[in-house]
Amino acid sequence: MRAAFFHGKDTPLTLKEIENSSNLAKDHVYIRLKNAAINHHELWMMKEQSESMPGGVILGSDGSGIIEAAQAEDDQYLIGKEVVINPSVGWGNNPAVQAHSFSILGYPAHGTFSDYISISKKQVFEKPEHLSFEEAAAVPLAGLTAYRALFTKARLRKGEKVLITGIGGGVALWAMQFALAFEARVFVTSGSQEKLEKALAMGASGTFNYKDENWVDKITKEAGGFDVIIDSAGGPQFNALLEMAYPGARVVIYGRTAGMIPDISPKTLFWKQLSLFGTTMGTTDEFLSMLDFVHKHQLKPIIDSTFPLDNINDAFNKMDEGKQFGKIVLSIS
């Protein structure tokens, strides 16, 4: 089978032919992958992971496919099932925070950038019927992160005003779709006018270009403020988000694309009684709730483009350019 291996920092992934493993670990299933999706999680690893990996590791968190084998006799009924993979591995018993042993599929365990994967049946769930394999592969990591940010952390209520930064990324788009389906009013930011126009067509109540030097004033004038803010960037502009928050608002951050946050004003936090949350991934229960929400509202992911597995490095080059609107998906079989 083919697999895309990561060997170290600042090196392209290497596609290799390796032997299929016929021995399954206890309670594992063997999945023929149809599609996978790429994430900034893997891109950051390719840029920053300094540990030596002479044998290489198969990256990839998101995937969908068909179960072809099961280790346990009682699990033979699973063969032929169309499934999607939960990449949140070993969360632990505390729903508030992941355990020390938590990991995201694709490192250190081999991930989804291959023709097949052997994985615990606990990580595998039935694919929503209304989604194609391509669409299903675009759900797990981004969908789970967005769901936990909006509903577990921010506790979004219907009719509230939500600001989502960096629209165009997978998590931001899922957060927008979830919030709209929940009957919230959604406003978004981006540095791309084209992305803002696409978000407006999807139902955003307002859009703002953060490259405009007056963007903060425009938001204040046109939107007034926000009950919930979902941020992926951090960086120097984060303080402006706190100023835009209504008293009692909830601010959730799940990314760091703009770097460190300087000089947060304690007065802004305590006088406005803001709640500031960090979040990443989510629990198994949240993954199931997220899939139920997607099914109930018949939501489909926004897919920017699809690349064959053989062209996986081209897919990551496109992500690195930051021009995509939606998920970048890999076609495997």
CATH number of the domain residue 21 falls in: 3.90.180.10
Same domain membership, residue 209 and residue 224: yes
Q: Please indicate, yes or no, whether residues 161 and 272 belong to a single structural domain of this protein.
A: yes
Q: Give the global pTM.
A: 0.95
Are 102 and 134 contained in the same domain? yes
Residue 52, pLDDT score? 64
Strand partners, 308: 331
Residue 141 near residue 104 (C-beta atoms within 8 A) = yes
Same domain flag for 237 and 167: yes
**132 and 147, same domain (yes or no):** no
Residue 294 lies in a domain: no
Q: How high is the pLDDT of residue 295?
A: 98
Please give the pLDDT value at position 20. 83
> 8 and 134 share a domain?
yes
pLDDT in tens, the chain (333 residues): 999 999 988 889 999 999 887 789 999 999 999 999 999 999 988 988 877 677 899 999 999 999 999 999 999 999 999 999 999 999 999 999 999 999 999 999 999 999 999 999 999 999 999 999 999 999 999 999 999 999 999 999 999 999 999 999 999 999 999 999 999 999 999 999 999 999 999 999 999 999 998 999 999 999 999 999 999 989 888 999 999 999 999 999 998 878 899 888 899 999 999 999 999 999 999 999 999 999 999 999 999 999 999 999 999 999 999 889 999 999 998
Task: Say what the pLDDT of residue 257 is.
Answer: 79
Would residue 55 count as lying in a domain?
Answer: yes
Q: Tell me how many domains the chain contains.
A: 2
